[in-house]
Amino acid sequence: MRPQNEWFQPEQLRRYYFTFEVIALAIVLAVAGLLAVTGVLFEMNPLVPLVGAAIALVAFGYLTWWIPAFYRTAGYRFTDDEVEYRRGVFFQQKTTVPYNRITNVGISQGPIERFVNAGAVGIHTAGYGGQMGAELTIGGVSDFEDIQEQILDRVRERPAKATEGEDTVETVESRTDEGEESTEMLGELRRIRELLEQGRTA
C-alpha cells in the first residue's frame, strides 16, 4: 500500500532500464564479434568500424547518464481525487488522471520485469467518442498488484464520470423523443381539422 498524498519513486525502474542497456550492449558486442570472426569487419573501410564504435560509445554513455537522471525526476502520487505522474530530465511534465475517469486498471510483467522483480500498472480511461486508451502507466514497481488494488478501491468509491460520447447519445435521444412528440401532435391537429371539415360539409 502506497502512502496517500505523498510522492513515491518506482524503485525498480532504474534497474529495469540498466538491464535493457546491458542486453543492448551484449547484442552490439555479439554482432561486432561475429563480423570479426567471419572476417567481414576487416574487409570494411577502417573508418566504418571506428565511426560505429564512436556512435555506440556515445549512445551507451548517454544512456548511462540519462537513466539515473530520469529516475530522480520520476514520481507518482495518489491524492484524494486523482493519480499524478511527474517526470522529465530536460523538460518537466506532469500527467493527472482523475479516479472518476478511470475505466480499467490492468497489470503486466514481461520477462525482464520478472528478472528485476518489477511490473507495470496500466491505467485506462474512456476516451472521447467511446475510444479506450492507456492514459498512464506506473512501471518499475515491485508491488504492482497492491497498487492495482489500491487504485481500484479509490475508483469504486466514486461514480463514473460521463464521457462526451455518452452526453452526445443522451442529447440525440432527447431530441428524438421531442421529434416524435411533435409528429404525434401534428397528426392530432390534422385529424381535428378533418373532423371540422366533415362537420361543415354535413
Prediction pTM value: 0.72
**Closest to 3 in 3D by CA, of 142, 150, 105, 123:** 150
Q: By mean pLDDT, which of 17-26, 33-42, 109-118, 156-165 is the weakest?
A: 156-165
The mean pLDDT value of the chain amounts to 85
Give the Cα separation of 91 and 141 in Å (integer).
23
| CA-derived radius of gyration, the chain | 31
Residue 172 has pLDDT above 50, yes or no: no
Domain 13-156 part of CATH 2.30.29: yes
